[in-house]
């Protein structure tokens, strides 16, 4: 198991340095208020997408020049991907930036979400929308490990299995980072 002091490397790095600055992106870690308690919002990417098809992700994407900031980009993407009305989300804060092996610099945006309607996946981008109870994500035993071989090297990330969905890589690593940074003060040993 990966320990909290283990430095997680991106799941892939190129053989040579990048020849351009990183692409700025933002994801929304949506804390959805439900009658039974808080959940966290995830999507399963469409199998027709060129990159990361079929993988679980937070709503999000590239920060466009028209976006005021990372929060605006995350809310715009969540609206495009799952029909989350931006006015139904209140930004709570940000996690540290996350640099990927594909040269993206991701800003994780944490928001309280109080939806007035069901989330609806945009089939061009998302095949499924689901939520994981926040209480489950707060428990250490929820996190396993996922190993993948890339370029002859084994890479490891966190892994969360939930109702037939496997969350791994960047999304699982960000989930664990959220757990460790935002929920740690609330956890009872």
Question: Is 147 among the domain residues?
Answer: yes
Query: Is 3 within the bounds of a domain?
Result: no
Query: In whole angstroms, what is the distance from residue 189 CA to residue 173 CA?
Result: 21
CA dist., res. 171 & res. 57, Å (int): 6
| 16 falls within a domain | no
pLDDT tens, residue order, the chain (189 aa): 334 434 444 555 566 677 888 899 999 999 999 999 999 999 997 656 455 545 799 999 999 999 999 999 999 999 999 999 999 999 999 999 998 878 889 999 999 999 999 999 998 888 899 999 999 999 999 999 988 776 777 778 899 999 999 998 899 999 999 999 887 655 544
Tell me, yes or no, whether 38 lies in a domain: yes
Please give the pLDDT value at position 7. Answer: 42
What's the domain range around 139?
23-186
Does some domain include residue 82?
A: yes
Specify the number of domains making up the chain: 1
Query: What pLDDT does 41 receive?
Result: 98
The pLDDT score that the predictor gives to residue 5 is 38
CATH number, residue 60 = 3.90.79.10
Rounded to whole angstroms, the Cα distance separating 144 from 187 reads 19
Q: Decide if 102 is inside a domain.
A: yes
Q: Is residue 1 part of a domain?
A: no
Q: Is 116 within a domain?
A: yes
| Helix, strand, or coil (residue 140) | helix
């Amino acid at each position: 198991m990966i320990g909290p002091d283990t430095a997680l490397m991106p799941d892939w790095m190129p053989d040579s340095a990048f020849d351009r600055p990183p692409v700025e992106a933002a994801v929304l870690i949506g804390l959805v208020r439900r009658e039974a308690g808080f959940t966290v919002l995830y999507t399963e990417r469409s199998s027709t997408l060129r990159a990361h098809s079929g993988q679980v992700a937070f709503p999000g994407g590239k920060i466009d020049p028209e976006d005021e900031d990372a929060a605006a980009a995350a809310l715009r993407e969540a609206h495009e991907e799952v029909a989350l009305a931006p006015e139904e989300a209140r930004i709570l804060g940000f996690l540290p930036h996350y640099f990927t092996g594909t040269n993206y610099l991701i800003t994780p945006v944490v928001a309280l979400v109080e939806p007035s309607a069901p989330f609806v996946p945009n089939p061009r981008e998302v095949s499924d929308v689901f939520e994981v109870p926040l209480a489950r994500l707060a428990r250490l035993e929820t996190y396993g490990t996922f190993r993948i071989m890339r370029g002859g090297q084994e890479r490891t990330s966190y892994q969360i299995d939930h109702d037939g969905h496997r969350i791994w890589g960047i999304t699982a690593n960000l989930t664990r980072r959220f757990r460790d940074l935002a929920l740690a003060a609330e956890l009872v040993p």
